[in-house]
Structure 1
């Protein structure tokens, strides 16, 4: 049995000063060798050029924005409170995508899954339950998470 979910058009996003991540044009060295946790190879000690992080993580700049995650429902996917989500609002939700949407007015980030013809928003934490989408729900898509950024130091939110 296939369930049809009524999608609403997302409202225009409003960003306040200080919430905007601006393009800085900074390019970082790119090392093409693999990074292992063992003994490094002296032959790999050279860089292969520069890489622009904006070009790496943003494929459709006018439709891409960054939001900060809260909560713990996606920790098995590597998304923690404070994780920066790179979201492309032009992409259509596909099975397996990590998505950002509003369900009945509540903004959430979950994995979009189609199981036996039904659509679910599935958390990546066993302490949370999947959400079965029904016709009665108001779902507003805000985009697909294409990348996310976590701080790797000890004081990162985990």
Structure 2
């Protein structure tokens, strides 16, 4: 069980009493905190830099739900012509939007093989590499 420390840590503060001295152990796991629908959720690692403008970077961990309905503005994982992509959905204009200066919007065309695999509900930044065997 992970111990929960109920404080808001501010980046940039220097020296403060250890909040771990009076931690609270909650009866919950990271799964309970981060995953809304376990049977419809999967994890994936990010490759590429097309979504850096929305804070999704290479090697980040994505939590993806197949249970969510796709809305315009959602970050999604999809297969486009046999390739997995992570993009912003524009359902009104039938576009996939990248948030990087080097990547343009993609207009979905008749004949494209396009399947939404799920909506990204969370992304996790890995500040240190995972142990071998996880990526």
Which category describes the TM-score, using the shorter chain as reference length? 0.7 to 0.9
1:35 aligns with 2:12: no
Q: Which residue of 2 aligns with 1:142?
A: 117
CA distance in structure 2 between the partners assigned to 1:89 and 1:67 by the alignment: 13
Q: How many Å apart are 1:111 and its aligned residue? A: 1.0
Q: Deviations for 1:83-111, whole angstroms, at most 9, x for unmatched residues?
A: 22111112121111110001122210011
Q: How many Å apart are 1:128 and its aligned residue? A: 0.4
Classify 1:44/1:142 alpha carbon distance in 2 versus 1 (closer, same or farther; 3 Å).
same
CA distance in structure 1 between the partners assigned to 2:19 and 2:122 by the alignment: 27
Q: Which residue of 2 aligns with 1:109?
A: 86
SS in 2 for 1:100: strand
Cα RMSD for the two superposed structures: 2.2
- Structure 1: tracts of 5 or more residues without a match: 1-26
Q: Which residue of 2 aligns with 1:132?
A: 107
Residues 61 and 126 in structure 2, CA contact (< 8 A), matched pair in contact too:
no
Q: Which residue of 2 aligns with 1:63?
A: 40
TM norm structure 1: 0.70
SS in 2 for 1:55: helix
CA distance in structure 2 between the partners assigned to 1:34 and 1:52 by the alignment: 19
Residues 76 and 120 in structure 2, CA contact (< 8 A), matched pair in contact too:
yes
CA distance in structure 2 between the partners assigned to 1:110 and 1:49 by the alignment: 37
- Structure 2: tracts of 5 or more residues without a match: 131-135
Alignment of 1:87-106 (within 5 A): 87-106=64-83
Q: Which residue of 2 aligns with 1:79?
A: 56
Q: Deviations for 1:109-136, whole angstroms, at most 9, x for unmatched residues?
A: 011124xx41221112111001122333
Alignment of 1:114-125 (within 5 A): 114=91, 117-125=92-100
